[in-house]
Structure 1
Amino acid sequence: MRFIAKSVVVTGGASGMGEAVAKRLAREGASVLVADFNEAGGTRVVSEITAAGGTALFQHTDVSDPSSAQAMVDAAVTNFGKLDLAANVAGIGQGHALVQETELELWQRVNGVNSSGLFFSLRAEIPALLAAGGGAIVNVASLAGLQTFKSLNAYVASKHAAVGLTKNAALENKNIRVNGIAPGAVLTPMLGNLSQEEVDGYAASVPSGRLGTPQDIANVVAFLLSEEASFVNGAVIPVDGGLLVA
C-alpha cells in the first residue's frame, strides 16, 4: 500500500492504460480523480474502484481545454484536500498520412490532446503539487516520442513534444519528480480495429513475444510515482517488450 493518504489525478482514466493506472493506484491506497472526456467510461471506472473498497471520483475533463484541465486539478484539491501525484495518460492516435497529406484538422486535434493537453495538465498540476510540498508526475508518451514512424507525423510530433515537456518539467521543479514512459504496442481500445492476424504480426516483432497490456503500463507508472523511485527524475522509460532495440 504505497499510496495511503496520497491523492492523484489520472487523465484518460476512463479506459485502457488510464483505467489500469487508476485502479492500480486506488488498490494501493490512493484517492483517485479519474479525469476523462468519456463520462460513461469514467463513471464505470469510479464505480468499480469504490466497489472494491477504494476512493475515487470522476471529473469530466477535456485536457485540450486549459480551463477544463484547471478544473480537474481544482476538483482534486477540493475533494481530497491536496494533490500529491499525477498520471497524465490521456492521448489519441491518428490514421496514416504523409506530411503533405496530413489534414490541418487532424494535426490540430492530435497535437491539441497529446501535446497541448499535456502542457495544460502540467500547468495546472505543478502549482498544486508544490502547494502540497512536492510530489511526482508520470507522463505517458510513446515509442513515437523516441523514434520515427512513417506516416504518423502528427502523432510522432505530439509524442516528441511530450518527451521534451517531461524533461523540462523535471529540470524546472525542485521537489517534484517528473518522469515519462514510452509504451510500445499495447492492447488498448486504440488497437481495437486490428484483426487477430495483425495483432499476431505485431507481437512477432517484439522481442518479448507479445504485445503489452494496460497492467504492464500501470505497474511502471505506480513504481515511478512511488518513493521506491525517489532518485528517478527526468527519465523517459521504454515499456515495449524490447521493441526499441529490436
Structure 2
Amino acid sequence: MRLDNKVAIITGGASGMGRAEAEAFAAEGARVVIADLNEVMAEEAAAGIRSAGGTALAVRTDVTDEQNLENLVARTIAEYGQIDVLVNNAGVFDKYATSLETAGAQWDFIFNINVKSVFNLTNLVLPGMIAQGGGSIVNIASVAGLVAGKGGAAYTASKHAIIGYTKHLAATYGKDGIKINAICPGTISTPLIAASLADIPTDAIPLRRFGESAEVADLAVFLASDEAKFMQGAMVPIDGGFTIQ
C-alpha cells in the first residue's frame, strides 16, 4: 500500500473532501487522525474507517485555537508516535462576496481558518518532521488562488496566500526531506457549497461537470506518497480544465 504505516493528520476530515481524503489515506495503509470541529461527525468518519479495517482517531479541533492545535499534535504523537503527513484541508467559503460585501469580521474569519490555521499547525509539525528526516505536507488551495474571480474577495485572497506560503515552505524545507505541495480544486461537489451548486454553470469547465471529493482525495494520496517524491512546490489544479482557458 502506498501509505503503509504513515501517520497522517487531516484537518476538516469529518466531511466533504476531508472525509474522502481520510478514507483514501486509510485505504492505502495510513494511520489517520481526523481533526474537525464537529466531534460527532469526526468520530463517525473514524468509526467508518475502523469498521473497514483501517486505523483512525478522531480529535475535536478548532483550527483557529492554537491550544487545540497543540493538543491535536500531542494526541497524535501520544497515539502513534510520529507525524508523517499533514493535509491542511480545513477551510471555509465566502459565497462569492465581493470586497464591498465583505465586512472586516468576515475577512478575519476567512483568513483565520484558511490561512492562519495552516501556518500555526504547519509550524507545530515541522520540527518533528525535520527531526525524523522527512515528511509530506499537502495544502488544499483552490483555483481561486490561481485565477481571479473564481471566489469572493476574502476566499480568493486567502487561497492566493496559501499558494505563496506553500512555495515558501517548499523552497525552505525541501533540504530537510520534507515534500510540500498544494492542490487547487475547481468546483467540487461538497456539503460546503451544496446550496450554491444549482447556480453555478458548468459551461466554463471543459469536462462539463463538477469534481467529486474522491477525485481530490486520490490526488492527495498521490502527493503524499513516494510516487510524487520529486514533486516540490507544485500547485496542482484539479478543475476539469477550468484554468486552461
Query: TM-score with structure 2 length normalisation?
Result: 0.95
Q: 2:166 corresponds to which residue?
A: 166
Q: 2:84 corresponds to which residue?
A: 84
The DSSP-based 3-state class of the residue aligned with 1:77 is helix
Following superposition of structure 1 onto structure 2, how do residues 172-211 of structure 1 map, counting pairs within 5 Å?
172-173=172-173, 174-194=176-196, 196=198, 198=199, 201=201, 203-211=202-210
1:68 CA drift (Å): 1.6
The 8 Å contact of residues 21 and 217 in structure 1, kept in 2 or not, is answered as yes
Say yes or no: does 1:212 pair with 2:211: yes
The 8 Å contact of residues 98 and 150 in structure 1, kept in 2 or not, is answered as no
CA distance 1:70–1:210, shift in 2 (3 Å): same
Following superposition of structure 1 onto structure 2, how do residues 59-138 of structure 1 map, counting pairs within 5 Å?
59-138=59-138
CA distance 1:103–1:76, shift in 2 (3 Å): same
2:115 maps to amino acid: S
1:156 maps to amino acid: T
1:96 CA drift (Å): 3.4
1:191 CA drift (Å): 1.7
Q: Distance in 2 between matches of 1:207 and 1:151?
A: 19
Q: 1:4 corresponds to which residue?
A: 4
Q: Distance in 1 between matches of 2:69 and 2:172?
A: 20
Q: 2:226 corresponds to which residue?
A: 227
Q: Distance in 2 between matches of 1:243 and 1:150?
A: 10
1:94 maps to amino acid: D
1:187 maps to amino acid: S
The 8 Å contact of residues 19 and 45 in structure 1, kept in 2 or not, is answered as yes
Q: Percent identity?
A: 38
Q: 1:239 corresponds to which residue?
A: 238
Q: Distance in 2 between matches of 1:46 and 1:239?
A: 26
Q: 2:34 corresponds to which residue?
A: 34
Q: Distance in 2 between matches of 1:133 and 1:98?
A: 44
Q: Distance in 2 between matches of 1:151 and 1:230?
A: 31
> Structure 1: which 5+ residue stretches go unaligned?
none
1:6 CA drift (Å): 0.9
2:191 maps to amino acid: P
Q: 1:43 corresponds to which residue?
A: 43
The DSSP-based 3-state class of the residue aligned with 1:100 is coil
1:29-65 Cα distance to aligned partner (Å, 9 max, x none): 0000000111111011001000000000011111112
The DSSP-based 3-state class of the residue aligned with 1:9 is strand
The 8 Å contact of residues 10 and 86 in structure 1, kept in 2 or not, is answered as yes
The 8 Å contact of residues 73 and 128 in structure 1, kept in 2 or not, is answered as no
CA distance 1:150–1:226, shift in 2 (3 Å): closer
2:89 maps to amino acid: V
The DSSP-based 3-state class of the residue aligned with 2:100 is helix
2:220 maps to amino acid: V
Q: Distance in 1 between matches of 2:103 and 2:135?
A: 39
1:180-222 Cα distance to aligned partner (Å, 9 max, x none): 01000000011211364x35x2x33211121100011001100
The DSSP-based 3-state class of the residue aligned with 2:188 is coil
The 8 Å contact of residues 65 and 120 in structure 1, kept in 2 or not, is answered as no
| Matched positions, count | 243
Q: Distance in 2 between matches of 1:219 and 1:58?
A: 21
The DSSP-based 3-state class of the residue aligned with 1:180 is strand
The 8 Å contact of residues 83 and 132 in structure 1, kept in 2 or not, is answered as no
1:238 maps to amino acid: P
CA distance 1:112–1:2, shift in 2 (3 Å): same
